[in-house]
A and B are shown apart, each in its own frame.
Chain A
């Protein structure tokens, strides 16, 4: 067949292709031992990463279950109508106050009406009861809460200016009725520890400075180092907080491999090079607190700038003439990078000393560069209330 006719029929001369294919079948080259070493190392790294992710996931699930569990049980610990009746109020003045404000209900309708329209106790009556230095309210009977539902009251009673006052409610629930007292700590001059130092701290301080220091891992744990963070948190309502920060990490690792090129050093391991990765980042985070405020879970985004001395492409060649000496050729360095990602953290409150809290934190972050950083450590917090 004429070649041009072949072209017209879109056929190719396959003799050449067959010859080449036949020649190339079974073409083999022996790879260097180092290739397997690297493959094995990467497989192990991925395996470790999977295990690490598994543990982190399990930890998150357990933290979630734990918080849900104690949140649900905390409701059971709050005084109910029956427990309030059976538990005597230790302070006779408060007992008298509660007694004075104990309405009697003849019908269910009246009860419902009162529940919808709970009276705010007037300023003068509050002072009668609370203007005492030695007032002592037992937490078992009086639980500090914020107002969770709208309260209606008369215009006269509403005349108290409470706009700049941290309004807290001390409530007891005898006979199924909420007797609500607006507690204004500053005006009444009551020692806040009398109610509950923990709950008052939680409610009065709405901001905090944080200093966090962590032992952390970059990647699958092959790079270890430190992550340090300064941050500022503002409480958003009762159970939420917004936290912003600036943090810095520094991690280092070693590239090691084994060699059997020397009979006297079979499978000897060598640390061929050490490298450092450092980054600066910010991670605006929203926190959700447990009801007791001693556990919080945060989720937010991460913006990170990173630089590294890690080579992304390199080769290590044993020198047969000088056993134990290797030629390391770096062919490409990892570029500096800017990446975005997400960060998840869990914090457990350990102890409080005055306005200072200490917590234990766990965090996990992942970014668009594919980097994973995990860490655990301590969080030191200084709480305060913003002056209006």
Chain B
């Protein structure tokens, strides 16, 4: 029996030490996931708490075949989506700009920002945009899957994703330019 299987067995037996060990092993990375979807660190911690309660509640359903981290991450993402739905936050923002839908923004340059800085930019997006962008670009869900998860049209998902993407590219380019300028000034 692998260490992970042994740990899961202990957790299922109600061993608090094992529960803490499992939590410690995944909490940091899962808070990173929650942080991208939420508006503040306190919100992200609330989501993390809710997600881990569900992880412990449903751990017996984990078959042990896939990666445990990926399984926990899926539960976290579902928790986040439910939380956003519960708060009845409109997923479709009002200021729709149809012009964006017809643009394909190319981006081939290197991103000079850190993960936290990128996360901050994603958090600046309207809730619906940020959610769709996170689910597609980072979690890897297809547009159709996202549409089913959020109960919205696939076209709406696609459109929101494009807008989020364009907005982020604009912001990242701006930040990159600012960083380059600082580097040049520092070099002088």
Question: Any chain B CB within 8 A of the CB of A160?
Answer: no
Provide the main secondary structure of the chain A interface: helix
Complex Cα distance, B44 from A23, in Å, reads 20
Question: Any chain B CB within 8 A of the CB of A38?
Answer: yes
Least CB distance from B56 to A in Å reads 5
Complex Cα distance, B19 from A46, in Å, reads 14
Question: Any chain A CB within 8 A of the CB of B106?
Answer: yes
Which residue on B lies nearest to A38, using beta carbons?
A: B49
Complex Cα distance, B169 from A19, in Å, reads 11
CB proximity to B under 8 Å, residues A262-307:
none
Note all chain A residues with C-beta closer than 8 A to B45. 31-32, 34-35
Note all chain A residues with C-beta closer than 8 A to B104. 3-4, 6-7, 12-13
Contact indicator per residue, chain B 25-41, by CB within 8 Å of chain A (1) or not (0): 00111011001100001
Least CB distance from B52 to A in Å reads 5
Which residue on A lies nearest to B165, using beta carbons?
A: A16
Question: Any chain B CB within 8 A of the CB of A388?
Answer: no
Question: Any chain B CB within 8 A of the CB of A29?
Answer: yes
Question: Any chain B CB within 8 A of the CB of A96?
Answer: no
Q: Most chain-B CB neighbours within 10 Å: which of A19, A313, A331?
A: A19
Known: A19-B110, A31-B45. A40 touches B36 (CB 8 A): no
Question: Any chain B CB within 8 A of the CB of A21?
Answer: yes
Complex Cα distance, B107 from A34, in Å, reads 41
Q: How many residues of A contact B (CB 8 A)?
A: 34
CB proximity to A under 8 Å, residues B28-66:
28-29, 31-32, 35-36, 41-42, 44-46, 48-49, 52-53, 56-57
Provide the main secondary structure of the chain B interface: helix
Complex Cα distance, B29 from A12, in Å, reads 28
Question: Any chain B CB within 8 A of the CB of A353?
Answer: no
Could you tell me if B27 and A24 are in contact, using CB atoms closer than 8 angstroms? no
Contact indicator per residue, chain A 2-40, by CB within 8 Å of chain B (1) or not (0): 011011000011011101110110111111101110111
Complex Cα distance, B136 from A12, in Å, reads 12
Contact indicator per residue, chain B 95-134, by CB within 8 Å of chain A (1) or not (0): 0000000001111101101111011000000000000000
Which residue on A lies nearest to B56, using beta carbons?
A: A43
Least CB distance from B20 to A in Å reads 7
Complex Cα distance, B136 from A21, in Å, reads 10
Could you tell me if A35 and B48 are in contact, using CB atoms closer than 8 angstroms? yes
Q: Most chain-A CB neighbours within 10 Å: which of B115, B118, B136, B168?
A: B115
Note all chain A residues with C-beta closer than 8 A to B140. 21
Note all chain A residues with C-beta closer than 8 A to B115. 23-24, 26-27
Could you tell me if A15 and B20 are in contact, using CB atoms closer than 8 angstroms? no
Binding site for A on B (CB under 8 A): 14, 16, 19-20, 23, 27-29, 31-32, 35-36, 41-42, 44-46, 48-49, 52-53, 56-57, 104-108, 110-111, 113-116, 118-119, 136-138, 140, 165, 168-169
A-B contact pairs, 25 of them (CB 8 A): A3-B106, A6-B104, A16-B105, A16-B107, A19-B107, A20-B111, A23-B115, A24-B32, A24-B119, A26-B29, A26-B115, A27-B35, A27-B115, A28-B29, A28-B31, A29-B32, A29-B35, A30-B28, A31-B28, A34-B45, A36-B20, A40-B16, A40-B19, A46-B53, A331-B42
